[in-house]
Amino acid sequence: MKLVHGGGGRLSRQLIDEVFLPVLGNRYLNTLDDSARLELSGSKLAFTTDSFVVDPIFFPGGDIGRLAVCGTVNDLSVVGAKPLYLSIGLIIEEGFPMEQLKRIVESIKKTADEADVLVVTGDTKVVERGNADGIFINTSGIGILRDKVEISGSNAMIGDRIIVNGPLGNHGMAIVTSRQNLGFKSQIHSDVAPLNHLTEKMLETTDRIHAMRDATRGGVVTVLNEIAQSSNVGIELDEQEIPVSEDVRGACEILGFDPLYMANEGVLVAFVHSDDAESLVKEMKKLKYGKKSKIIGRVVETSQGRVTLRTKIGSRRILDMLSGEQLPRIC
């Protein structure tokens, strides 16, 4: 195993396809969406799980506790579910400061309250000093699926418009600048946020959202490549419409990163019928985490399974799935 296998890009997908799916594959797991859709006694549920190993555990705009809640809430939200209940499992290294643990737990509570979800079960393990890097958190979440909502990475349709709810790359760049203490004049803050109230508004506005994902590891381009391949469609982005803050853009240029591949923890990508796209963006902008929503591209008939970028000068280039590791331990 290499660190890159956990980076959310090409090798992560290869690991899933070659190791996990051949043994564990089933009709729920094989969709490879952010949450599994289940039916229990007539109720339609979404179920997801995630683990968080971010370094550093406290960063501008958030911490591992807020990250854990938001990551799980968002994975439920982007399949069209209303998140309800979370579990929290903590693996803590011997000697971890109790004050920091209390701070993390308080952050979990504050973020869960913001998202209107409850932490209903949990577990704690302590390992010997040197056998963990401070603290790791695992979360699982359950939500209720709306009736007649069929959102999946395999449902993108020709003509769909592609929407993001805010600037790209803030989380990844907040992490890298925190680690290196690079001394930028403007501190970059993570975008980590619970998006369930935003997705609820989106689903109230239109019933023609076909696909939706949160763009975490591997960034927006990796997520779009996964959807292009699952739906067997082409995706074309418009470079001049893609929102990136000046601070993030400048830091990426200095450090050699591409914001399109940087992790986000408060950014979703939605594929919506073209007739509904403008009105949906207008409604999204009314909410706190949707104020900078934009249409950044479209689904096209050509180049099935590929993502292309129409540049500011009118040329086109292929945007492939992340093949390496821009930054490990990002979430």
pLDDT digits (tens, 9 = 90+) for 101-135: 999 999 999 999 999 999 999 999 999 999 999 99
- Rounded to two decimals, the pTM is 0.94
Is 139 inside any structural domain? yes
**Contact partners, residue 34, CB within 8 Å, separation at least 6:** 48, 74, 75, 76, 78, 79, 213, 214
CA distances from 229 to 152, 156, 278, 303, 307 (A): 12, 10, 26, 10, 9
**Could you tell me if 118 and 226 lie in one domain?**
no
**Could you tell me if 182 and 268 lie in one domain?**
yes
Is 154 inside any structural domain? no
118-127: strand order across its sheet: 36-40, 43-52, 135-145, 81-93, 118-127
Task: Print the domain residue range for 250.
Answer: 161-318
Kind plus residue range of the DSSP H or E element containing 327: none
- State the CATH number of the domain containing residue 77: 3.30.1330.10
pLDDT in tens, 214-252: 999 889 999 999 999 999 999 999 999 999 999 999 999
Is 302 inside any structural domain? yes
**Could you tell me if 188 and 304 lie in one domain?**
yes
